[in-house]
Every structure is written in structure tokens, then in C-alpha cells.
Amino acid sequence: MFRSSAPALLVAAFVTGPALAQPTGKPVYEGAGGDPRISVSQPESTSQASGGYVRSIEPSLGPFGDPLGLRPVLKEKGIEYSLTYIAETLGNAFGGIRQGAIVQDRLNLRLNLDLQKLAGWDGATVHANAYFIHGTGLSRYYVGNLLTTSVIEALPSSRLYVLWLDQQLFDGKLGLRIGQQAADTEFFVSQTATLFVNATFGWPAITGLDLPSGGPAYPLAAPAIRAKYVPGNGFSLQAGLYDGDPAGANRPGDDPEAQRLDRTGTNFRTRDPALIVAEATYAFNTEDGAKGLPGDITLGGWQHFGRFDSLRFDNTGLPLADPNSTGIGRPLRGNAGIYAVYDQTLFRETGKDDEGLGFFVRAAWSPTRSSLISAYVDTGLAYKGLFPGRDNDTIGISLAHARISDDARRSDTDAIVFSGMPMPRRRAETVIEATYQAVVVPGFTLQPDVQLILHPGGGIANPRDPQGGRLRNAGVFGLRATVQY
């Protein structure tokens, strides 16, 4: 039933993020994740699902920007829409599986319906978001890394992403949201990190690799209920209850097979074990006239109530590497983790609200034995308006590190012992990224990007090396173009 209605849904459900591009060309001063904007270096455009702070190219198009004059008429009636098109080319210059380059693109369509204007329903909004994805993934075919080189990398598809109803209560202090949702739009978000191209700076690899089907994050969302309470004084609390397996792949990790199981985003699964994500945030110095520099601190965590396979032992207690093993992992109950985010403006240029230096650091730990990644940290700096005459350009450098869990490493040791053959033992993967986002005109950016991937796959063997040596460190170079309308 759902698959047959997918084309109609994709036509009707234009994308919605936390902030929509405005026809006036004025920036939306809302932070990524739908929170108060605390980062002066939040970029002009971003591919991260948490979105925020976008301007439309419409004013630069003159009479062709809105030839029928529909946008202001629709907005007056409570209907807003926007489009974001991202095209990029990425190449693996050395290391990894092999050398080569790819081209990929993504069209993002958004729709926002104000039900107060449309139907007199106070405090209610409907959002929808659809993706049209094309191209070949560099990580999957050329690098072999865990921290995917681009956040838009996914199997080609046309899919509904999110579709939900939001109800604001108690003068906006409590927000209830129900429908198909994605955790990466609101949880575990750093506003400064939205500049970067690598996918781990959006939805960190510890969640994407430990949770079934990669968790409710791009390109897969899941039916959910989310509550957000904002009592004031910079504090906010939010929690989401999600279907725990967006595609029904029944195994952790961002596996392409999971995307094939839900090609249109309309499976709407509701019978899988639940995933709960919750976090508390304190944002400081966000009020007008604050003497200090803005920032926020977030503490959060997740609990998945499903069953997972052991990374080391089979269902009879033998090591999976043992020739006598059944090959079926011992069932383990649940997966859990905790995380923290610190986002801070370090310097703000005089008289400017959106120029200066920002810093972020995020850390997470997952002690459960089903986790491939047991510890994760990322950090970075971004500066908006560093160069004279380029006030809206943003430059940044970042680092992310994902540690392979003890059970996964011991499984590698078992494989060496039982096979009697030398082979690599995984430890960790690290990515260092440097990027520069140049604003050509408001709503149109170009972004050259460089990434160094250390120990791709955590240090796995190169499948193209007959001697079984590790994948060599890889160097990725790319250029992204983004148009927002």
C-alpha cells in the first residue's frame, strides 16, 4: 500500500528542515538543530540534516527568481517551500582501496505548512522533506573507510525523508512532534560542525555504525514521537522514541542493503524494538546585550531495546573465527551510549553577529558489547569572515576519531590464531578535514575540501593486496557546489 503511494508522496512532500530559505534573501538566525544560534561560524549552507541558517538565491535571479509571484502569496496563506541542490566531485588521490573519482548530487525539496493560517489550528505545523539522490559513493568503492567522506553519499534513490506534525503548547515551551522523523536533525548536533563535508560531523559514526540500519538518520528516517521542553534561561530538554530499525535490515551499521529495503522511505515500520534518544542542553549568552560569547553544552544518550549479535562469539559460545563455529553470533540484549557536545564562539568580530571564530568538541562512549565503535571524539575550528571582503565565507579544520571496540579487536585476534595467518588487527580510524566555503552570491556556494583518512576501515586488510597488508592512508580531494532556493 505504501509503495504504491510513493510517487504521490514525493510530489506532495517537499523537504522541510529546521529553517526554510527566505524569499527576501535575509538570513534566518536559527541555529542548526532548531536551537538558538550560538555559533558565529555556522556556515552559509550545509548538507547536514540539522540544517539551519540558509538564504535563497532568488533575489539574485531577478525576474526569474519567482516569475509568477507565487512565493509571497503562498507564504501569506501559510505555505512555504524551498529547494537545495548539492553537486560534488570527490577523488581518492592515494591510499584506500584504489584511486579514482566520483560525481554525486542530491536535490532536497522542503515544504512547511502553518496550520494556524491554513486551518485555524493554533501552534501546529506540518513539515515534509524529500531527497532525490544520484551518483556513486567514494567511500564504498574507492576508500573503504568507516567515516563516510560525504554526508550526501547514499544509494541512488528518490525517497521521502521526514513527514511530521509539530504541536507547540504552553506559549511554545513544549513541542510535541509525531510522524516520520530523523534523529540527526535534532540530536547530537554541533552548529559549528555543520560546515564540514564528512558525514561523521553530522550524525557521528558511533551511532551510525552501532545502531540498526545506521539509526534514524540520513538517508533513512523512522516513525517517532519527540517531545522538547524549553523552560527558559537557556535550558532545553528533548527526548525521542523511534522505531529502532528504519529499514528492517536487522543488523547494525550504515549498510547499503538497508537502503535497498526501503528505497522510497515509505516503509513506515512500527513493530521493531524501540530506540530512545534524549539530551539536555544549556545555551548561554544568547540573549540580546549579553557581555559574554555564546555557547552551549549538551549531555545526552541513547538506549536501543533490540537484540544484537555478538562480535566475537557464536550462539554456542565458540569464537566466531573457530572452524567449528556455527557462524551465528550470540544474541546480546540492547545497545546504549552516552555523549556530550560543547559548542563555543571563541571570538566575534566587532559589531557583527555572524562573523568570528567558533569551536566544537563532541565525545561519545558505548560500553555495550554489541558496539563496533566503543569510543568517539571529534573537534574543530571554523572562522566566518576571516578574509577582508569575504564576510560570508567560512574556513575550517576538523578531526574525528573512532575507536574499534575491544570485542571486535579480540575477534580479529581470534581470526589470526585460528587461521594461523598474519593479518591486520583493527584499532581505530581517524579523519582530518580542511575546507573553505565561498559564497558566490547569497544562496550559492562553492566549497573545496581536503580529507586525510588514517587507517581506513580501522586498519583492515586491503582486498586488492595478495599479501594482506593494511589499507594505506587515503587522501581525498573534492569540490562541492550548493544552490539554495
SS3 breakdown of the chain: % helix, strand, coil, rounded to 5?
15, 45, 40
Q: What is the pLDDT of residues 264-278, one digit of tens each?
A: 999 999 999 999 999
Instruction: Classify the C-alpha dihedral 26-30-36-37 as positive or negative.
Output: negative
Strand partners for 398: 380, 433
Q: What is the pLDDT of residues 213-263, one digit of tens each?
A: 999 999 999 999 999 999 989 999 999 999 999 998 888 887 777 888 998
249: left (phi over 0), alpha (psi -120 to 50) or beta: alpha
Residue 159 CB neighbour total at 10 angstroms: 23
Distances (CA, A) of 314 to 180, 250, 305, 311, 374: 35, 17, 21, 9, 20
Q: Which of 211, 265, 264, 210 is nearest to 242 (CA)?
A: 211
Q: What is the pLDDT of residues 170-223, one digit of tens each?
A: 999 999 999 999 999 999 999 999 999 999 999 999 999 999 999 999 999 999
**DSSP H or E stretch at residue 411:** helix 406-419
Contact (Cβ atoms closer than 8 angstroms) between residue 85 and residue 108: yes
Residue 5 has pLDDT above 50, yes or no: no
Assigned C-alpha cell, 336: 546504549
What is the residue type of 181?
Answer: Q
> Residue 27: pLDDT band by 50, 70, 90 thresholds?
very low
**DSSP H or E stretch at residue 407:** helix 406-419
Contact (Cβ atoms closer than 8 angstroms) between residue 207 and residue 239: no
The Cα 427–Cα 139 span in angstroms is 19
pLDDT at position 197, please?
97
> Residue 297: pLDDT band by 50, 70, 90 thresholds?
very high
pLDDT at position 52, please?
63
Peptide bond into 219 cis (omega under 30): yes
> Residue 18: pLDDT band by 50, 70, 90 thresholds?
very low
Distances (CA, A) of 31 to 44, 212, 278, 334, 457: 12, 29, 19, 33, 33
Q: Which of 483, 480, 451, 484 is nearest to 94 (CA)?
A: 451
Q: What is the pLDDT of residues 77-128, one digit of tens each?
A: 999 999 999 999 999 999 999 999 999 999 999 999 999 999 999 999 999 9
pLDDT at position 224, please?
97
- SS3 (DSSP) at 232: strand
Residue 6 has pLDDT above 90, yes or no: no
The ranges assigned to domains in the chain are 3-484
**DSSP H or E stretch at residue 73:** helix 70-77
Contact (Cβ atoms closer than 8 angstroms) between residue 460 and residue 473: no
DSSP letter (8 states) at residue 217: B
| Average pLDDT of the chain to the nearest whole number | 90
Rounded to a whole number, what is the distance in angstroms from the first to the last CA of the chain? Answer: 33
Q: Give CATH for domain 3-484.
A: 2.40.160.180
Which phi and psi angles does 414 have, rounded to 5°?
A: -60, -45
User: How confident is the model over 297-317, as a mean pLDDT?
Assistant: 94
